[in-house]
Chains A and B, each alone.
Chain A
Amino acid sequence: MVSLKRAMALASAAAVVSTGLVTTSMAVAQDDGACNVGVSWNNFEQPRWAAKDKPNMQATIEAGGGTYTDFDARLDSAQQQTDVETLINGGADVLVLLAQNQDAAIAALETAQNAGVPVIAYDRLIEDPNVLYITFDNVGVGKAEAEAILEAVPSGNYVLIKGDPGDANASTFLPMGWDQAGLQDKIDAGEITIVGDQFTDGWKTETAQNNMEAIIDSANADGVSIDAILAENDSTALGVVAALQAKGLDPVPLSGQDGDTANLQNVAAGWQYVDVWKNANELGKVAGAAALQLCEGVAMEDLVIPDGLIGDAVMPLDGAGATPFETPGGNSVTSFILQPQPITQDNLNLIVESNWLTLDELCAQAADGPSPAAICTDGASMDEASMAPEESAEASE
């Protein structure tokens, strides 16, 4: 006669085993049929990924009959390794990997390659010849940032606010772009002096704000002015603007990238000079389309961006087909390199026309800004002009 205790122990053991079997069978069942795309994000806390990239990637994949699963590694490389293993064990056919740390991601890459799962390196490079690298031209982004600022401030004192030191974009690609635009040449020629140069852990706004305040204090103590600020992205640029405002300084030409709402509002108000806009919607779509094609067995070199999927301004310079890309580490990876668009007060209309932001959203803070953009003030005067004929019509009655 089996005691109650024993019966319960046996029952729970049976439950655990059967759950395991069911899950495995579910995973196996998922293997045949639909294209299962596993995505490993590194940082949902930055506005861009969850708000723009993911919805478009997911929609493209599901429209093509695939399934979408994702995890967020929360800025932790070890967690990303675990996420990749979970996705592969869960039956992913293609892996999209936004690397938290390009060196640590190599290990995750090996896990995928051992399982025969092709990997798309999304936005951030992984130094491995077998990945498909889908990104905006990050060096081109840096070049666009620096070109705009150098045009506005050809000589003077510059502050460099960089992103997370573990991110190749922050440490290598963007500064490379800056130099391609002529920054290092100007420094060597003595026309530009660097009065501040700091990385920002985790691309955090508050850290950038604190660092910028310290740099401003140091510059004040030395009696030098700050003429221009090259911030690598929008979250750091936001902190820089806050530091300038806290110190009561006038706006200084400032760069950024990502096209975050708050920063585009700053461009409209006059606090940020240029925001290099990478229409992340399009990047997500391209990754989704590439994943679907990889599922069908198309070789990486033969991948093509479907007609009409993305706008012409964003299309890679070399056309709709995948092209080889020489990495700094000497590898040659297959790639889709999309084109960024620098946004200043002169072309804010692009933001509104592509439905990235509405005009009201864009101009929300422009009226209070030091130099509101024409697109915001023109809207107001257009309203007045359209009201006037009605008023005169009423008056004549």
Chain B
Amino acid sequence: MAQPSGTAAAQPSSSTPARLRSAFAATEIDVRLFGMLVALVVILLGFHVLSGGKLISPANMITLAVQASGTAIMATGMVLIIVSRNIDLSVGSQVGVIAMAYAVLMTDFLPDVIGFPAVGSPLMWIVALGLGLGVGIMIGGLQGFIIAYIGVPSFVVTLGGLLAFRGVVWVLSEGAAVTGIDSTFRAFGGGANGSLGGDLTWALAIIGCLAIVALLIYNRRQRRNYGFQLRPLWAEVLIGAVACGVVLLLAYGANQEYLPRGLAARRAEELGIVVPEDELGTRFPMGVSWPIILLIGVTIVMTFVATRRRFGRYVYAYGGNPEAADLAGINTRWTIMKTFMLMGALCAIAAAIVVGRLNGAAQDLGTTQELLVIAAAVVGGTSFAGGIGTIPGAVLGAFVMQSLAYGLAFMGVPSPVQSIVAGIVLVVAVGLDSWNRRRGGGRRRAGT
């Protein structure tokens, strides 16, 4: 007999499963999200066993996270778009065109044509990033305007965008790959030169821990002030401890990866310290890399926007019932346009990561990525019917898809077979969720 979720009062029951279930309900963890987290762990453990105990290691998990970061960042924006009953098929081409724009700006246009900033200037990455964000927002705004104010279906508009922007990539570079970008900008791509280092990583982790605790305390106080039912104290402590533990564990894992010997020697020179030869490879921990920081930051901001800001609530309201939202006085058209502008900005961030990783841009960057992003959002629980979907779910969905791809590549499975597996998992994941929803189980609270 399932307890209705959300009630903190645990009814005394003699059977352990019922007590466990009510205890679980008391923590108010989203069952669906938790289920997906379990699925991700199962996939990783499965590959770990199949590969003979080699897959799960700090270095590999960092590689996986960096590879997933771009798709995950874009998936957070895709959630809002799908929730509001639209679709954006052009995100792959947006990444392609913004990436090529970054490369051309930094290698040619800014230093040679405009004359500012010069190559090697510390301002270069800021100007380039700013321009890229501007381009993304403009593209998103253009598509959003046509969709929201002129009324063309989003499928059609963004399909046109997919074709058109891919063509613009070619115009920018005549199909050639453009490499050799600003070294500070390259940090966006992670790797040895794009990581924070050991000390900053620990500092960030401690700040994160404190923030989690502060958030829990603040939420509890708000609930008391407004007369809502409180979570049992043991649940709050448990959640806080587990979350803190995870953050510290991630930091520890990130610090298990060290600068390779050549770079370590250079770092030692810069710092003016002497490091014995055999210690070079374990002297400077790399720490967490920028793509992961960007991903965490974007997830936090997007979750906040989706759940605690008017804009986010308007998006979910519109998705739940467009006519009612309109009649309630929400400026629905401006809200829709903003979802596409936000998507464009997120594409610009993802493009920065891709360009940093590749040290440039190629003609085919982002091709077919729109399908992966939509799959991530959908696997994460976003429904095409609208009104339902969570940001953390989409990020988990992206990680599920990427862990499959990475795990299969790690084990040397040919890439066509990878595609088969990805397709099957996508259908199974979404199918399970639909079946579960139909049964009436699981939590349907939108926008957690």
Whether B354 lies near A206 (C-beta < 8 A) is yes
Whether B177 lies near A205 (C-beta < 8 A) is yes
Distance between Cα atoms of A199 and B416 in the complex (Å): 8
Whether B364 lies near A213 (C-beta < 8 A) is no
Residue of A46, A165, A239, A245 touching B175 (CB-CB under 8 A):
A46
Question: Beyond A50-B170, A199-B415, is A205–B409 a contact (Cβ under 8 Å)?
Answer: no
The verdict on A186 contacting chain B, using a C-beta distance below 8 Å, is no
The 10 tightest CB contacts between A and B, nearest first, are A214-B409, A248-B192, A221-B54, A248-B260, A246-B191, A47-B175, A262-B177, A47-B176, A205-B362, A365-B180
The verdict on B5 contacting chain A, using a C-beta distance below 8 Å, is no
Shortest C-beta distance, A134 to chain B (Å), equals 21
Distance between Cα atoms of A162 and B243 in the complex (Å): 43
A–B pairs, 5, beta carbons within 8 Å: A45-B363, A47-B176, A202-B364, A211-B415, A235-B364
Whether A45 lies near B59 (C-beta < 8 A) is no
Whether B60 lies near A221 (C-beta < 8 A) is yes
- For A204, give the chain B residue with the smallest CB separation: B364
Whether B358 lies near A215 (C-beta < 8 A) is no
B residues near A198, Cβ cutoff 8 Å: 409, 412, 414-415
The verdict on B189 contacting chain A, using a C-beta distance below 8 Å, is yes
- For B361, give the chain A residue with the smallest CB separation: A205
Complex interface residues of chain B between 261 and 288 (CB less than 8 A to chain A): 262-263
Whether A217 lies near B416 (C-beta < 8 A) is no
Interface size class of B (residues with CB under 8 A): 35 or more
Residue of B166, B179, B416 touching A262 (CB-CB under 8 A):
B179
Chain B positions near chain A (C-beta within 8 angstroms): 51, 54-55, 57, 59-60, 63, 66-67, 166, 170, 174-180, 189-192, 259-260, 262-263, 354, 357-360, 362-367, 405-406, 409-412, 414-416, 419
Main secondary structure of the interface of A (DSSP, over half): helix
Residue of B178, B179, B358, B416 touching A209 (CB-CB under 8 A):
B358
B residues near A196, Cβ cutoff 8 Å: 412
The verdict on A57 contacting chain B, using a C-beta distance below 8 Å, is no
B55, B166, B359, B411 — most chain A CB neighbours (10 Å): B359
Question: Beyond A45-B367, A206-B354, is A217–B63 a contact (Cβ under 8 Å)?
Answer: yes
Extra contacts besides A260-B177, A262-B360 (16): CB < 8 Å? A45-B166, A45-B364, A47-B363, A51-B174, A165-B416, A198-B412, A200-B415, A202-B364, A205-B177, A206-B366, A218-B51, A221-B60, A238-B179, A247-B192, A248-B259, A250-B262
- For A239, give the chain B residue with the smallest CB separation: B358
A residues near B177, Cβ cutoff 8 Å: 47, 205, 235, 238, 260-262
Shortest C-beta distance, A202 to chain B (Å), equals 7
Shortest C-beta distance, B356 to chain A (Å), equals 9
Whether B175 lies near A45 (C-beta < 8 A) is yes
A198, A217, A239 — most chain B CB neighbours (10 Å): A217
Shortest C-beta distance, A277 to chain B (Å), equals 15
A residues near B411, Cβ cutoff 8 Å: 218
